[in-house]
Each structure stands twice: as C-alpha cells, then as structure tokens.
Amino acid sequence: MKKTIRIEPHVDSIIMPENLRVGLMVAEQRKKCQKVKCDAEYYGFGFGQSPFHVPEPIARALAGNTEKGHYSDAEGIYELRQAVAGFNERHFKVDVDPSEVIIGPGTKPLIHMVFDIVRGDVIIPSPSWIGYFPQIKLLDKHFHTFYMKPEFWYKIQPEDLDAFLSEIHREQHILVLNNPHNPTGALYSEKELKAIVEVCRNHNTYVLADEIYALTTYHFERFTSMRRIYPEGAFVTNGLSKDRSSGGYRLGSCILPEDCSEDLKEDFRKVAATVYTNVSTPTQYAAITAYEPNEEIEAYFTVTREIHRIIGQFMSAEFNTIAGITATVPEGTFYFFADFNELAEDLRRKGVSTSNDLGRSLIAHPHHIATVTGDACMLRPDDYGARIAFVDYDGKEAFEKFKEKPPRTTSEEEAFVRDNAPRMIAGVEALKMYVDEIKKR
C-alpha cells in the first residue's frame, strides 16, 4: 500500500503565493474553455510585476561580474551596504550606517527574518499584500488583522490603532506598514506617519516599514521614509524588484533601527548565514551600480513612475465609471483596490458568496478577468474587494514611446494609455459586461 507523507499543518495551511495562485486559476480556466472551444483573451489584472526592462547599467554590471564565484559575507558585501546607505541618504534624506544594512535575496526573506527575530505579535493591516500572512503562518507567529476603512482611503488611523494596541497584552509588537501601499496605491503623508509613530512609541510597537514601492511614488517629493520619522523603531525594507524592475535578481535590503544593539545585528547575520549563506555574489556586485549615483537610472525612475501614474490614474478612473465599483486612486505602486460591495446583493444572488468567490467568478468563462481577491488580501469573507494590477502592457515599448514624445495634456495621456495598454482597456470592457451580467435579474 502506498504511504502518504504527512505534512506539518502550519505548512499545509499557507496560501499559495499570488503569482502562482492566479496563474493556476488561469490555467484551470483555460482547460475548461478549451472544452467549449473558447479562445477568448484573458485580462491580466492579477500579477504584480513591473512591466519594464532591467535598466541597462544594472544588466551590464551583472554581465561584468560573472567571475565573482566566491562566497561573501552573510549580511552582504561592504561596498554594497555602503552604496545602499548612500542611496538612502540621497533619495530619502536619512542617515544610515552600512553596519545597519542587511542584504537579502529580495525583501521577502528579509521580512520573514524580521518576523522571525523580533519578538511580539504582528499586526497586519487589511487589505494587505499577500506575502505577509503566509510567512506568519509558516513561522507559527501570533498575529492580529487590523481592518482599515474605505472612508479613510484604507489608511491606518492613529486613534483606531491606539484603541487596537491597547487591547493586545504583549510586551512588544510589530506593525506592518507598507508605504506606498499594495493593494490600494495609497501614500502616507509625513504628518500621518508622525501620528502613527506616536501611537507606536506609546505601545512599544516596532514597525516593519515595507517601502519596496517608494521610488514609484508618482510625486516623489511627497514620499517620506519611516527611517526619518521613527529611526529607533523602524525596520525598513526595500530592493530592486519594483522600481528597477529586477525582481528576478532577488536583491533587497533591510535597514535595522538606528543605534540597535550589536546582538540584534549579529542575529540578522546569524539567520542570513543559516538560511541562505549570502546573496549571489555577482548580483551583489551588480547591485552596487543599482545603488550608486547614476544618471541613466535616475532618468529611468522618472520615466517609469510617470508611466505608472498615467496608466494607474486612467485605469482607476475607468473602474470608477462602472456603477457598483469604487476604486482607490493610486499615488504610487502599480495597483489600486476595487470595492465591489455595492453589488453585494446581486453577487450573492448569482452565487458569489465570498470575496474568494469573486476572484473565481471574474476569471470564469466568459469574462476571463484575473484579479487577486479574498483571503489572499486578508479581506473579511463578505468583503467583495479585488486588487487590480495595471501592468499588462509592453513596458519596453511604452518606455521608448514616452521618451520620444512624453504626453503633456490629459487627452495626450489618455491617448498614450489607449495606444500602449489596449489589453487593459479591453479588460475594463469585459468588466462592464461582467457587472451587467451580475445585475441581471
């Protein structure tokens, strides 16, 4: 008799990461569609990857460092940590010592390390990026979901946080604060961050400041790093995946709180050495170029964030024209959040009983609209919401066209989106048909 290998329940219960989950949903739906000979287009609002190319100076630097086959320091090579500190100083006006920087294979494992090393309950605001919750489950860590309100643009309200933290009887907590925010695209002002930090200080709460989208902030001068507001209490994570479109390079950094103990630094080094030894050494050398002053990369930031702004704000406005859907207006990232709750009654009548069902129903034949909904975003089951990623277009082509002739007026911007992102425009039409279908009695 074949024996079944038993699985640890804390592993078995985690959710498949969004890229694979949405990909699997599409694959499954395609199989069903083949049976009815449907070859309709799929509308990809699910997968959140930068559509742009790796900036050429970074690609060249990687090619030039292939011979660096040696192991390197677990916390990252010194020259790279120094470059990361310099980058933070130039862009975010913060003082960072290279000894406070830990390099990891993307920010995901660094976030995992923060949860693993820092004691206390984790507070995850919802809606949330899909990555935190599975890590918490994997670590078997105690956590709390903090529900943010649509009337406050899904931002943490200090008085609500104060009341919430007062109820948690632990000596120390970790609050996840992702700014700008995946999935809503919301940006916190300096004033808002200060008010949240005041609450955190009062409740012995450290902040995991996930700033991976910082440099995608459309009006970059409005971005404030947590390191400026809460130097003694923020673990700031950032990396190459989003603003430099190099997710596959797997390179991120975590800045530890200012003046933290040598023991804490040593613990990060120990865990890094135990789990991944070091980030690929050639990638680390290439990343020095990604962090050092470079005009070509600066110009790349300017162009890509403008394209994200134009497409994001246009798409969000299009979603808002659909009666029954309310979309957030993104100020950074390449996502917004679409609230379908006005359609709740119609959805329930059509058998869409939960937010997880909403994702399944949107992808089902004949609509074929891929989104991320439900448990993945840590939504309440009866909260019909979806994360919309607006990156389903040829980034390289859009980049070149933008450089040739940047749109100057609202109508030129609209023409730019229609020209460069026809699949997403068609996706909105598919969504309109979906909503009409849902409303039919």
Ligand X SMILES: Cc1ncc(COP(=O)(O)O)c(C=O)c1O
Query: Which of 239, 257, 312, 359 is close enough to bind ligand X by CB under 6 A?
Result: 239
Stretch that binds ligand X, among 106-114, 136-144, 278-286, 365-373 (CB under 6 A): 106-114
The reply on whether position 178 binds ligand X by CB under 6 A is: yes
C-alpha 202/C-alpha 353 separation (Å) is: 40
Instruction: Please state, in angstroms and rounded to a whole number, the distance separating the CA atoms of residues 431 and 371.
Output: 11
Per-residue interface string for the shown chain with ligand X, residues 58-97, x marking contact by CB under 6 A: ----------------------------------------
Structure tokens, 90: 């130039």
Query: What element of type H or E holds 386?
Result: strand 385-389
The residue among 225 and 241 lying less far from ligand X, judged by its C-beta, is 241
Which residue's CB is nearer to ligand X, number 129 or number 146?
A: 129
Q: Count residues contacting ligand X (CB under 6 A)?
A: 14
Question: Using the rule CB under 6 A, is 368 a contact of ligand X?
Answer: no
Measured distance CA(323)–CA(48) in Å, rounded: 26
Terminal-to-terminal C-alpha distance of the chain? 53
Q: Which residue's CB is nearer to ligand X, number 216 or number 361?
A: 216
Indicate the length of the chain as a whole number: 441
- Asked whether 366 and 40 are in contact (CB, 8 A), the reply is yes
Residue ranges in 235-386 assigned as alpha helix (H): 262-275, 281-291, 295-320, 344-349, 355-363
Least distance from ligand X to the Cβ atom of residue 18, Å: 8
C-alpha atoms less than 13 angstroms from C-alpha of 371 in its C-beta half-sphere: 33
- Residue with Cβ nearer ligand X (177 or 311): 177
In the complex, least distance from residue 5 CB atom to ligand X, rounded to whole angstroms: 29
- Residue in 107, 217, 245, 283 binding ligand X, rule: CB under 6 A: 107
Q: Binding marks (x or -) toward ligand X, 257..296, rule CB under 6 A?
A: ----------------------------------------
Nearest Cα to Cα of residue 308 among 298, 300, 296, 320: 300
Examine residue 203 and tell whether it contacts ligand X (CB under 6 A): no
Interface positions, 118-177, toward ligand X (CB under 6 A): 129, 131
CB of 107 vs ligand X, minimal distance in Å: 3
Exposure string of 227-261, with b = 16+ CB inside 10 Å and e = fewer, is: bbbbbebbbbbbbbbbbbbbbebbbbbbbbbbeee
Which of 81, 91, 108, 305 lies at the binding interface for ligand X (CB under 6 A)?
Answer: 108
Minimum distance from residue 258 beta carbon to ligand X (Å): 22
Taking contact as CB under 6 A, which single stretch among the options 31-39, 70-78, 100-108, 306-314 is the one that binds ligand X?
Answer: 100-108
Tell me: does residue 23 bind ligand X (CB under 6 A): no
Contacts for 337 with CB less than 8 Å, ≥ 6 apart: 127, 154, 183, 184, 185, 327, 328, 385, 386, 387, 388
Q: Is 224 in the site for ligand X (CB under 6 A)?
A: no
Whether residue 178 contacts residue 266, with contact meaning beta carbons closer than 8 Å, is answered with: no
Q: Can residue 50 be called a binding residue for ligand X (CB under 6 A)?
A: no
Among 135, 241, 284, 328, binds ligand X (CB under 6 A): 241
> Of these, 182, 217, 225, 289, which contacts ligand X (CB under 6 A)?
182
Does the protein bind ligand X through residue 45 (CB under 6 A)? Answer: no
Residues 6+ apart with CB under 8 A from 298: none
- What 8-state DSSP symbol labels residue 343? G
Sites of contact with ligand X (CB under 6 A): 48, 106-108, 129, 131, 178, 182, 210, 212, 239, 241, 247, 252
